[in-house]
Structures are given as structure tokens and as C-alpha cells.
Structure 1
Amino acid sequence: MALLAFHSGERPTGPHHVGRVEHVDHTTETVRELTRLLFDQDGEGERVHAPWRRLIAEDTFRHRPGLTPEQRAAQSYTWLRLVNDTLEDPESLATDVALLTALHEWAAIVEGGGGLTTVASIHYNLFLGSLLDHDDDPVRDLTEFTALRRIGTFLCTELDHGNDAPALETTARLDPATGGFVLHTPHPGAAKFMPNTSTLGGPKSAVVAARLLIDGRDHGIFLFLTPLTDGDGPLPHITVTPLPLRPNAPVDHCLTSFDQLPLPRQALLQGEHGRLGPDDALSSNLGNRRKRFLASIARVTAGKLCMSAAAVGASRAALAIAVRYGDHRQVSGTRPGQRIPINTHRTHHGRLLQAVADAYAMTFLHRSLTAEWIRHSAEDRTRLERLIALAKAWITWQARTIALEARERCGAQGLLPANHLAGFPEYIEGTITAEGDNLLITTKAAAELLHHPPTPPAADPGPPHLTNPYFLRNLLVHTEHAFHAQAHNALRNGPAHDPQARWNTASAPALQRAHTHTALLAADALLAALDHTAHRPTRQLLTELTTLHLLTQLTPHTGILLADGHIAPHHIHQLTATVDALTDSLQPRLTTLTEAFDHPPQYLDALPLISAR
């Protein structure tokens, strides 16, 4: 089956048997152009990505066999200091979301990089970022944190309260006698759960989320800057209990409790959401405690972008390793004595190609939302927070699937720690939970989306062919409309006077609508990338990759599309053959697509499954 070959700026308008992409020798130019689109579309690649790419190329980031989990956890802090040494102004990393998320993309791919990305994300985003976001007067001196004389951590969730963080029970009582506060953990279930609060890596301070009590009145949750440890261990009134170390994401997670810990008045992080006056009266421009809490922990949105970035980076690295392995791993051919690369087999390269298409979609989606977040206005904040939450769930879930697929494609070699592949899924599991469990944040966003009608379909998406990505994009729009209607019908017809039961009946189609809405954002990001290149071979290659990605997204929904008249029976019959033809056309470019991920040679060449060839 022949495939469309589009010119720059064109949409498909003619018959769908236009001709296969010609695989002439444009490889070097195509790799260069794909790399530009992935990392330098906005001209910021040298500033944003190059420092971290150079950093992980250094020998210290190569595999070191025989380290204990404790040594790997300590290594995360050694690497954190190397990150800090690359920065002229460490505060700028906390406020530069593009640079910060790029750090996560590159740091996550080295063995044990899950530990580095975790401690870096906590220190720069959640800790330093929170301090910088609050306009305390006088301005705090952050030198001990920017010089890493003290490492910052963030204590929000508790043993009994994770996703229901507004119900936190740690208290910070205003002490009229001193004008300061008394930080207290009222029972074991209120212990702060998971933050890295041990002495590993050096003395630590924390931003602690606690319920502000003034004269017995609960004013909601605020943040308090709290020293935790020195070189000898926890400070008085503080108990730190280490939790088991995860081998592939080694971080010194702990349970942390406070026993009537006195804090000075300046420990309270203040801003427009809440200020404590000289008369001990609290003023706020937000009308309720929940809004004040969300304003206090606003850095979790940037944190979601960071978690997505780490998952995107790990996915691209896993695929680059698996494709390189498949190019060199020889297996028996069809003729006696013949040896062929395992990537020759459709059953092998077909799965990798679909994963590569998804990785491109994930990358471009992350780029587009990061750019929007950087320039967002207050009026657009709620919408973007919802989209970033949806994207974090969609990206990290897909990253888990990709990492497992890449590991499996490398067989027993993929199980060896030195080849990194076995560690990626475990670290990605952490991103699925960090900054809000995926299912919870998707459910919340799905409920909010029901108040917003889906995007109208395009009036003229071009010919209704399965090789037309604009037609396929329109089918994704129709799918979203169908799930939106199902969810609304379920809400209208659900049990009366029982909101929980009504939502239960609507939740399945609402979640499907949210997933489809996110897939549509990714499709739009892929299609936008097409408009940013004038290099015809790259445009042709990306068009086919986009088409393959869209077909895999749409395949589970062909029944509803057929029932609603958006596709015809012949589309169903052509689907498998179209995917097969796309896979056949893209297979010679599989290596080109992953070489564009631009991993340092020092990184890939050090992997035994590659270097042993």
C-alpha cells in the first residue's frame, strides 16, 4: 500500500495512492532536523538542553558495579552538587521551568538517575521554588541553600493523608508568648511520609506544610521553613525514621515527626494568599482555606512538568538502547547459515516503531505545555493546571509501557543493571505517583472537563483516508465528543440525591473523554511540529510517524466511530493493512528516528549490550 508524501505546508488533498516516501540518503540532514524539532524548536536548545547533555556525558555518570543501595543514594547527592556547580545562579534554576524540566529529561536516563532527579526536583523546585514564590519581608538569605551547605526538602503528605493533602493534621500553633510557632505531629498517622530527611548528603532544611492555628482557630495550611538536621543527626524535637531504599531510584525517604518544635515567626512563608500582621491577625486575598492551601503548594504544577520530563527522557533513552541493540543483535535468517538483525522482524520493529511514535508525541506535548506554562496569565492558570495534570498522567502511563517494551525487546540483556533498561520502569513508577497519583489527578481533571464542551471538529480535514493525519485528528475529536455525551447522559440519568453514585456512573466515560482530550493535545503538538520544518524528508517522515501514532490511538475506538457514522466499514477493513504499510515504510528510518534523540556517545557506547557488538 502506497503512502502519502506531503510537501511542506501542504495538507493531503489528492488521492491516497500518491507514492511511498523515497528513502534516499537524507539521513544526516533528517537526524539533524529532527533533533532541532525535538530540542531546539524555539532556539533555546543550547541554553536549556546542552548543559545537561554535556553533564551526563561525564565519566562519573557511567555505571559503577557493586554499589549498595545506600551508596547509590549517597551518589545522588554527589551528582546534585555537580548539577549545582554548573549553575551561575542556582536560584535561576528554580524559576526557569524550561531549564529545570530539561534537567529532569537528561538526569533521569543515567543509572540511578531516578535518585538524582528526585533530590534535584525537591531541592530546586519544591523547596527553593516555594521560598522564592513567597514574597516574605524582609527577603530571605538563601545562600546556604544555593551553595548546598544545607539541602532543601519538602514535607507535605502524611502517612494518613496523601492525595487528600488538604486534610493534613500537622499543626503550627502561634505562640503568643514568643510570637513564633510550635510545630507538632499530633499522632503517628500525621507523620510526614516519604521526604528525604536523613543526614545523607549533608544537613537538611524543609518547607513543611502545617495547619496554622491562632487562638485555637484553624486558618488552613501554610508552609513553614524548618531546619531538620545537622551533621550529627535530627535536631531536638524532631524524629526521623528511614524507609527502605528503592534500588533503581535511591533516595533517603523517611518518616518525619515533630514534638512541640519551636519555630521563629519568620518561619512562616507569606504572600498575598496569607499574611500575619503585627497584631497576629491573618489577612488574605483568597476567600477559603482550600484556595490558600493550593496557593501555598503552587510549585506542584511545575513538579508535574518535571515528572513528565523525566518520564519522556527515560522513554527516549530506553528506545534508543533497544533500537541500537536490535540493529546489531544477529539471529538466524530464512536461509541456512544466514544471520540477520533482529530489527528485521516485523514482530520486533513494529512494536518499537509504535513506541517511538508515542515518544515523539509525548515529547512535543511536553514542549507545548511547558512553553504555555512559562508565558501563562492568571486568567489561564486553571485551564493550564488541568492540562498539565492530564499530560503528566498520559505521559507517565505511556512511559511505563514504553520502558517495559524496550526492556523486553532486549531479552536477558535488558535485565542487567549495567544496561539501564531494568531500572527505567521502577523509576517511572515513581513519576506516576509523584506530584499527585495519576488516577486521582486525571479523575479530578475529567470532572472539571465536563463543564467545558469539546473542541469542534475541523470543517475540512481533507480526504477521509486512513493515511491522512488531519482526518485522523478529526476522528479523535469525534471520539472525545462521544465520551463527553456519554458522561453527561450518565450524570442526568444517575441516581437522584446521591452525587457519589451519579459520578460513579459517569466516571468511566468522563475518564475516557479526559484521555482522548490529552491524546488530541499530543496530536496537535505533532501536527504543529510538521509546520515548523521546511525540510521535505523530515516532514514526510514525521507525517508518517504522526499517522501511525494517531491510528494506534484511534484503534480502540473504531466501534463507536463506526456506530456514529464517522468512519465506514471499509475503514475497519483497511486499518490493519494501513498500519502494516506505515510500519514497512518507517522501518528503514527507525534508527534515524532514535538517533535524533541526541544521546551522548559516551552514554550509549558504555552500555555492555551495545559496546560488546
Structure 2
Amino acid sequence: MTSPARADLSRLLFDGRYEQTHQDLHELLLDPLFDPREGLTLNEAGKLAYERSRAVHGRLERPREILADPWRLFALAEWPSLVDVSTFSLLMVHYNLAFGTVVEHGDRDDLKDLADELDRLDSFSPYMATELGYGNNVAALRTEAVHDPATGTFVLNTPDALAQKYMSYSGFPDIPKLAVVMARLKADGRDHGVFPFLVRISDRNGLCEGVHAAPCPEKPVQGLDNGLTWFDHVRVPDRQLLHGDLGRFGEDGVFRPASGNARKRFLRAMSRILPGRLCVASAATGAGRASVYIALRYAARRLTNAPGRNDLPVIEYRSHQLALFTALAKTYAMTLLLNHAKREYTRAPGQPAPAGLGDLVSITKALATWEMTEVVAVCRERCGAQGIFGVNRIADYGSLLQGLVTAEGDNQVLLATTAGQIVARGEDYGDAEGAEGGEPAGAPAPPEDPRAPAFLVAAARHRERELLRAARAAMTDDSADRTYFEAWNATLNPALEMARARGVRIALECLTAAVGAARDETARAALTLLTSLYGLTELRRDSGWFLARGLLTAAQVERLPLEADALCAELLPYADPLIGGFNLSPELLRAPIAADDYVAAFQRHTGALGPAAARTAAPAPAAEGS
């Protein structure tokens, strides 16, 4: 039976949408099709991911309907990765990046047959933007689509090795693929910039004429068909240009791009990247929650020795508590930060997205994937040797997070770009995006209690504000004869800290808001402790900065580790309801160490009988002399 605290925490973590948006996805993944399969080759694992993706598609509403409800799309990003990280990747590329681009820019009667083909999942749709030589700089990509008015086609071509499409799914030539390919549109002797095209890559007979692919090197865990893809003068019908409102051919056959510069048109063409970042962060926080759930359940049941005691659960050790409860606090903080970013995204009217929303989504993606990478690593280590086994899931989540950190924009580049935009806009702190808004007058005084949530929020706001001021001052310093690049390069690392500090500040505000929104007293008490632990963790991280500015005394800095230990001791009784709010179960995750009896579960998985059963099953010894 669900406790009131667990139900209240679930309501807050899933933003009141679990039953209508998430529950059927949870139940779908209980199907035996998603049971762990050991001993598969990477190719076999990749083919299984395609099979599982078709099963998910067959049990849910059509992709077009899911795209119309961003909350549903984000939920689809959150759950499949818990049982198969490759299935998550396939679904998100098809639903959000590729088919989402078709719906936004090619929702026309003359493309209905191809759009319906993707909506039915008769063909999968890879998204081909990144090129081997250009990484995140897709605005500079070189694949070209040259218009041939005599035949009513574009000639799609890869001019050199640097322009080969990189990482998209083209390695299984027997699976039908209808890709969205970003290419440079050339018509009437002019380069009109980058546009999306819908291109048939393969059918059941293999790769289409003029399309070439080679597999990328193998990746751990994720056995998908990532490849290098290149085009040798492939004819693409005019209708398969996904121009949307980006421009169109006139009756005179001349292509006329929409008003505005090429960069704005390019950003509009890449509009699915923004919700894609929220999908990536959803998968990351889902993996973080699952890792903490598994690690804490195992820690409560894994017995060890202690001075003067035997058979003590390892979670009783303060060192274990600090590692896992800090991970738990970060997971709650990132989940609530992500919920805030999702709400802001769903409220934003149309395209292009407001600058503040882009900042929030990018910071959320970067901070959530970085923090969950650390959370998963800590949980894996605290589970000892059991954390290494793929069947216990956490190692697989570590591989997933390695990919998510660079997906939809490499975190370091993404955060640097975001920080540069914030600094360049010259906004006041009061204009900054946040969950609560408002700004304290001046720096907060050294507190009597450094773990008080009000002080921790005030300290986070002050640090963000001061880092922003320092970055802006450094950029506008005219005392040195510098180029713009030299000025930005000297400011870059402090600006990155400022952008990270903004994410931390908003996450703390979201935690504080959750405390206020809690209806159950136990849930409220648990959330208050988590808020303090998350804030204290960040305070310890930057304690030298706070000490130098008089926000903490030397004695308080020395006491911060003791305060964190004390919070862990207070959090211990709340561990079960806190992870109960994740709405996970051993049946869903199928991780033996998450089971109520992990020893029996591990024995069942390995096929071991165990000592008692082995004695019972052993044949009786032969009589002497027989």
C-alpha cells in the first residue's frame, strides 16, 4: 500500500502527471520482451532494440499524437532507457528529431504518404546533421543539395570525407530508413544555407542507389548501427525539401528564402533540438533515480561487520550515507529543475523560443547530465562488484550518461555558448530565469545555521550575481588591447561557472518550492532535509569563494562536513519514502540487487542452487565397498 508521503513525493516528482502520462509506459516495460538478454553480440542487441522500439510504438498512440503533447514525449524519453538504453536512443531520434522535423516543416498534402509511413513506423527515420569534420558546428556543414529545375529534383552529394554524416543510424541496411538529412540548399547559383530534406536511405533490399554507409566503431552497451553515411549524387524529389516557413520556390522556379538571415533560418530548421535537450535530461534524471533506487535498496539489505557488531546493513555507515544521500539530493534537485524547464517550454508561444527559455533548457540539459553522470558513478561504486554487472543496470546507465553528456550539444560547448549569450545580453540579475524570482538586497550575512534553506538560496543567488557581474566586467574591460576572441577566451571559464551557478540556484529554488507545495508532513520534512543537503553540498564545493567574501566564517567552513554528516543521520529514516516517490519497482528494473531478497534473486539469475539446495540435490554417497 502506498504511504501518503510516497504518494505526495511522487506527485511532486512527476508534476502531478504520473497516472495520465507515465503509468502506461511503466506497465508496458513489464513485458517479457524487455527482460535482460545476456550473451548477445552488439549487432544482435541493436536488432533487439529495433524490435523493442516497434513494440513500444505498437502499444502507444501514434508519434504525431505524442509530438502534440510535449509532456508525453518527455515521458517517452524517461522510461525505456531504464531497461534498454538503445531503445531510448532509437525512439527519441525517430519521434523527436526526425519525425518532429517532418511535422514542423513538411506537414503538407504532397508529403502525406511519407509522413504516414513514419507515423506507422514502416520505416525508421535517422537524423543526419552532424558531419565528421564539424562536430557541433552543424551551421558549417558541407553536404549539399543542388537544385536541378530540369528534372524537378535536388542532387544530394557529399563533397569530401569531412562532410560524411556521422553517428546517425545507417549500419543495418536491411531495415527501411527514411532519413531527415540537413544539407546546404543551392539553387539559381546561390547558397541559401542549411535546410532539412527527407531522403530514403534504405529499404528491405538494402541501401538505396547512391547511398553509402560504413559502421562506426563499437560502443560499450549501446549496440546500435551508428555509421558514417555519404551520398553520391542522389536524386531527391523537390517535394522532399522540408521548407516549412523557411522559404519556397516561386512560380518562376526561383527559390526565395524567408526574411531574416541564414542563421535564424538555420536555427528554425533545427528547432527540434530544444525539446530534444529536455528529452536527454529526462533520460538522465530517470537513470539517476533508478541508480539511487537500486543502490539504496541494496545498501539497506547488504550486511557487513562493524566494530562491536555483526550483520549491520551497510547503509548504517555514515560514509555510505554521505555518498548515497548526496546522490539522492542531487537527483531530486535535477528532477525538479527539469520539471520547471518543461513547464516553461510548454508555456512558450511558438517559434523561435525566447532567449531566456533557451538559456534555461541548455543549462538544465548540461547540469542534469553532468550531475547524473556523477550520481550513477557513485551508485555503481557503492554497490561494489555487484555494480559492475549489466543485469544490475547501473553500469549500463553509466554508458548511457556518457552519450547524453554530448547528445543534443556537447555540454562544455553548449554551456559556453549559453554563458556567452547571457553575458552579451547585458541583462540585470532581476531578469534572470528562475523558479521563484526576486533578489536579496546585497550579500547575505554569515548565518547562524549554514544549512538553513533560506540562507542556502540567498548564497546561491549572490554567487550567480557576482559571477555574472565579474564576467561582464571582464568582457567590457577596455584597459587591455585585445581582440573580441581574446577577451572572451579570458572570460570563458568564469562565465561557465556563472552558467552552472544559475542552474544550481534555480534547482535550489525548485527544491524550496517543493517543500512549500508538499501536503504530507513526512514528505515536507524529508524534502527540507534534502534541500539542505543539496545546498550544503554546493556550499562546500565553493566554500573558499564564500569564505573570501565573508559569507561564511572559517569556523563554519570547518564545520560543513559535520553538518553534512548530521543531515545524513536525519535523512536515514526517510530513505524509503524518498525513493518510493520514484514509482520504480524491482519487477520493472529486474536488477537482482534491488530485490527484497537480493541473494535469492542473484542465485536465480546465475542458476546457482545455493548450499542448502545443493546438499539436498546431491546424490547419496555410495556404500563402502560397492
TM-score (norm 1): 0.91
- Output the amino acid matched with 1:522: A
Is residue 27 of structure 2 the alignment partner of residue 29 of structure 1? no
Partner of 1:161: 134
Partner of 1:481: 465
Does the Cα contact within 8 Å between 1:204 and 1:230 map onto a contact in 2? yes
Does the Cα contact within 8 Å between 1:413 and 1:609 map onto a contact in 2? no
Of the three residues 439, 446, 450, the one matched with 1:457 is 439
Does the Cα contact within 8 Å between 2:147 and 2:153 map onto a contact in 1? yes
SS in 1 for 2:588: helix
SS in 2 for 1:151: coil
Of the three residues 27, 32, 38, the one matched with 1:54 is 27
In 1, distance between residues paired with 2:108 and 2:161? 34
Is residue 578 of structure 2 the alignment partner of residue 593 of structure 1? yes
SS in 2 for 1:531: helix
Partner of 2:624: none
Does the Cα contact within 8 Å between 1:312 and 1:395 map onto a contact in 2? yes
Per-residue deviation at 1:416? 1.1
Q: Deviations over 1:548-587 (max 9, x none)?
A: 1011112222232233233344432432222121111002
* Farther-moved stretch of structure 1 (584-593 vs 366-375): 584-593
Partner of 1:443: 416
Q: Deviations over 1:486-540 (max 9, x none)?
A: 2123223374241111111111111111000011111121112122222112111
Does the Cα contact within 8 Å between 1:478 and 1:561 map onto a contact in 2? no
Q: Deviations over 1:425-483 (max 9, x none)?
A: 11111101111100000000011111323246335999753232121101001111221
Per-residue deviation at 1:27? 8.7
Per-residue deviation at 1:380? 5.5
The 5-angstrom pairing of residues 374-393 of structure 1 reads 374-378=346-350, 381-393=354-366
Is residue 53 of structure 2 the alignment partner of residue 71 of structure 1? no
Does the Cα contact within 8 Å between 1:219 and 1:289 map onto a contact in 2? yes
* Farther-moved stretch of structure 1 (598-607 vs 584-593): 598-607
* Farther-moved stretch of structure 1 (523-532 vs 151-160): 523-532
Q: Deviations over 1:361-401 (max 9, x none)?
A: 11011111111111212586222112111110100011110
Identify if the C-alpha distance between structure 1 residues 30 and 158 changes in structure 2 by more than 3 Å, giving closer, same or farther.
Answer: same
Partner of 2:343: 371
Does the Cα contact within 8 Å between 1:365 and 1:522 map onto a contact in 2? yes
Per-residue deviation at 1:96? 2.1
- Output the amino acid matched with 1:340: L
Partner of 2:214: 241
In 2, distance between residues paired with 1:326 and 1:28? 21
Per-residue deviation at 1:287? 1.4
The 5-angstrom pairing of residues 325-364 of structure 1 reads 325-335=298-308, 338-364=310-336
In 1, distance between residues paired with 2:176 and 2:223? 18
- Output the amino acid matched with 1:129: G
The two structures, once aligned, show a CA RMSD in angstroms of: 2.0
Of the three residues 188, 197, 221, the one matched with 1:215 is 188
Is residue 390 of structure 2 the alignment partner of residue 410 of structure 1? no
Structure 1: gaps (5+ residues) = 1-25
SS in 2 for 1:108: helix
Partner of 1:174: 147
Per-residue deviation at 1:408? 0.3
Is residue 101 of structure 2 the alignment partner of residue 130 of structure 1? yes
Does the Cα contact within 8 Å between 1:95 and 1:129 map onto a contact in 2? no
SS in 2 for 1:228: strand
- Output the amino acid matched with 2:508: A
Does the Cα contact within 8 Å between 1:78 and 1:201 map onto a contact in 2? no
Does the Cα contact within 8 Å between 2:136 and 2:410 map onto a contact in 1? yes
Per-residue deviation at 1:589? 1.7
* Farther-moved stretch of structure 1 (244-253 vs 289-298): 244-253
In 1, distance between residues paired with 2:410 and 2:579? 30
SS in 2 for 1:612: helix
* Farther-moved stretch of structure 1 (147-156 vs 94-103): 94-103
Q: Deviations over 1:97-150 (max 9, x none)?
A: 21111112111111xx22111110110001110011115543522221122111
Is residue 256 of structure 2 the alignment partner of residue 271 of structure 1? no
SS in 2 for 1:254: strand
How many pairs are equivalent?
583
Q: Deviations over 1:47-83 (max 9, x none)?
A: 2111211112222212111111111101111111111
The 5-angstrom pairing of residues 439-588 of structure 1 reads 439-450=412-423, 451-455=426-430, 457-458=439-440, 465-493=449-477, 495-588=480-573
